[in-house]
């Protein structure tokens, strides 16, 4: 019974989350032979201000970029 945790920044639409869990489920079914009802996926969302790359907060590095895209 596969259990997947996906960590993503907050702001993705419910439609994108549906696409994500469908794609992950389909991949596990095809790769592992699992039944879809055995697969659990947990989406863990975090604020961009709590994520840093290269010593710089993501919210500072890309301020405004994601709001414009709706991500």
Tens of pLDDT, residue by residue over 8-21, are 999 999 999 999 99
Structure token pair of residue 36:
């879809």
Active-site hit among 1, 2, 5, 7: 2
User: Is the CB of residue 44 less than 8 Å from the CB of residue 5?
Assistant: yes
pTM: 0.76
CATH number reported for the structural domain that contains residue 58 in this entry:
3.30.429.10
Active site residue 2: yes
Total domains in the chain come to: 1
Interstrand relation of 3-9 and 40-46 (parallel, antiparallel or unpaired): parallel
Tens of pLDDT, residue by residue over 30-66, are 999 999 999 999 999 999 889 898 999 988 887 665 5
What range does the domain containing 65 cover?
A: 3-69
């Amino acid at each position: 019974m596969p259990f997947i945790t996906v960590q993503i920044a907050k702001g993705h639409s419910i439609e994108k989350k549906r696409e994500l869990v469908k794609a992950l489920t389909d991949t596990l079914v095809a790769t592992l032979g699992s039944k879809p009802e055995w697969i659990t996926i947990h989406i863990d969302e975090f604020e961009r201000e709590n994520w840093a790359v290269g010593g710089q907060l993501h919210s500072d590095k890309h301020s405004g970029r994601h709001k414009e895209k709706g991500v």
